[in-house]
Amino acid sequence: MKWAFRGALAIIIIALAVWIWVTLFPGPEQAIRKRLAELAQLGSFAGNEGQLAKGLNAQKLATFFTPDVEISVDVPGVPRQKISGQDELLKAGMAVRTYLSSLKVDLLDINITFGPGKETAIVNLTLKVQINGEKEFTPQEMKFALKKVKGEWLIREAETVRTLSRLLNEKREISHRVGSA
C-alpha cells in the first residue's frame, strides 16, 4: 500500500512540475494555442458591450494580425470577400460589433504545423460561430498562416477551407505554401 501511495504522490508531483514549467515557459505550440484562445475571447462579445469597449476590443483584436494581413472568406451563397491590412480588418471588426447584438466565437480542433526554425506556422482549425445568442451555430474550417514577430505569434494570412469541395480542382492556397513557410 505504501509503494502505491508513494507512486501516486510521485506522479502528482511530476505532473505539477510539468504544468508549472509549461505555464512559465510555454513552447511555441502552447504559445499559439494561448494566442488563439485570446483571439476567440476578443472576437466574442455580449449585447451589453459599450461603444468604448467595442472600439478598444476591435483595436486589440487587430493587433493579433500582421499589418499586411490577408483574409480571404469564400463560403457558399456569399461573394468571395477579401480583407487586406490591419486598417481594413479594424473597420470590418467594428462593423461586425455594430451590426450584431452578440457573437460567440470558438476555435476548435487546432492542428499546428511548424515551418523550419519554428518561426512560421500553419494552423488548421474549426471555427464555431453563434450569432445573436442563437443556439444554432455555423461551423467553418479555417487555415491560418502565422509568423513570429518580436516574440509574438501574429496571423499573416487566414482563409476559409471548403471541407466538401464542389469544384473539379479546388485550390487550397495556404496549404500550398506550407512547404515554403
Partner 1 sequence: METVTEAPVQSPSLVRRMVIGRNPKRTMQRVVILVVVCFVIAKFVLLPIQISGPSMLPTYGEHGVNFVNRLAYLFHEPRRGDVVAIRLAGPSIMFMKRIIGLPGETVAFHEGHVYIDGNLLDEPYVKFPSSWEHEPRTLGPCEYYVVGDNRSMPQIDHSEGKASRDRIVGKVLL
Q: Would you tell me which residues interact with partner 1 (CB under 8 A)?
A: 76-77, 108-111, 124-126, 128, 136-137, 139-142, 162-166, 168
Cα–Cα distances (Å) from 177 to 7, 18, 151, in that order, read 48, 34, 22
**Distance in angstroms (rounded) separating the CA atoms of residues 136 and 115:** 36
**CB of 176 vs partner 1, minimal distance in Å:** 16
CB of 84 to partner 1, least distance (A): 25
Instruction: Please measure the distance between the N-terminal and C-terminal CA atoms of the chain and give it in whole angstroms.
Output: 54
Complex with partner 1: residue 162 or 177, whichever CB lies closer? 162
Cβ closest to partner 1, residue 58 vs residue 161: 161
Kindly give, in sequence order, each residue whose CB lies less than 8 Å from that of residue 81, ignoring residues fewer than 6 positions away: 72, 73, 74
Cell numbers placing 118: 519554428
Task: For residue 110, give the nearest of 178, 174, 36 by alpha carbon.
Answer: 36
Which residue's CB is nearer to partner 1, number 30 or number 98? 30
Q: Are 93 and 69 in contact (CB under 8 A)?
A: no
Closest approach of Cβ 32 to partner 1, in Å? 14
Between 86 and 159, name the residue whose CB sits nearer to partner 1. Answer: 159
Distances (CA, A) of 79 to 66, 69, 73, 172: 25, 20, 9, 18
In angstroms, what is the minimal distance from the CB of 87 to partner 1? 29
What is the identity of the amino acid at 58? A
Q: How far is the CB of 7 from partner 1 (least distance, A)?
A: 16
Nearer to partner 1, 98 or 138 (CB): 138
- Cell, residue 163: 471541407
